[in-house]
A = this chain, B = another copy of it.
């Protein structure tokens, strides 16, 4: 299986900078690399673009993400994205692209602080793409992979929950 990962930043990637005393969104894939090291049966193509907290994403950033997906020769795509505006980006992609299997994922807690949640969310996407799935825009968070319009961040609980 060949999977294209478009890493756009967000909490998933954040790391503590001891000199500045704060968490930063890096432009590298260190968080992702630690997960991928346990994958021995997938050919990954990784693109790192935008590299922002999703609260700071602009319309231009979303166009860039959209173009990156359109330009991918591969039709199995995982997008790592900040949790605050993943609903906006995925809605845009859903509207514009319908010939690929696109799975958004991310994390509420940085991989560098706690490895279980980020690893789970990314691996849910991989497991879903191992099945025969229809083209569409999906989201993989907190135990499930569903159509991207059907899983919503509950900001009080800090959890992505399936809408009724």
A interface residues, Cβ below 8 angstroms from B:
1, 11, 16, 18-19, 21-23, 34-35, 37-42, 84, 108-110, 112-117, 119-133, 140, 142-146, 151, 155-162
Task: Please tell me which one of the listed residues B16, B22, B38, B155 contacts residue A120 in the complex, with CB atoms under 8 A apart.
Answer: B38
A132 B130 Cβ-Cβ under 8 A: no
With A1-B144, A16-B109, A124-B127 as known contacts, state yes or no: A116 contacts B41, CB within 8 Å.
no
Name A117's closest neighbour in chain B (CB-CB): B38
CB neighbours (8 Å) of A125 from chain B are 127
| Closest-CB distance, A160 to chain B (whole angstroms) | 7
**A112–B38 CA distance with the chains assembled, in angstroms:** 16
**A117–B132 CA distance with the chains assembled, in angstroms:** 24
Query: Which residue of A113, A120, A132, A156 has the most chain B CB atoms within 10 A of its CB atom?
Result: A120
Pull 21 A–B residue pairs with CB atoms less than 8 Å apart, ordered by A.
A19-B157, A38-B116, A39-B144, A40-B142, A40-B143, A41-B142, A42-B143, A115-B119, A119-B119, A119-B120, A120-B126, A124-B127, A124-B130, A125-B127, A126-B144, A127-B128, A127-B130, A127-B145, A128-B128, A128-B130, A130-B144
| Closest-CB distance, A125 to chain B (whole angstroms) | 6
A144 B41 Cβ-Cβ under 8 A: yes
B131 A145 Cβ-Cβ under 8 A: yes
B116 A34 Cβ-Cβ under 8 A: yes
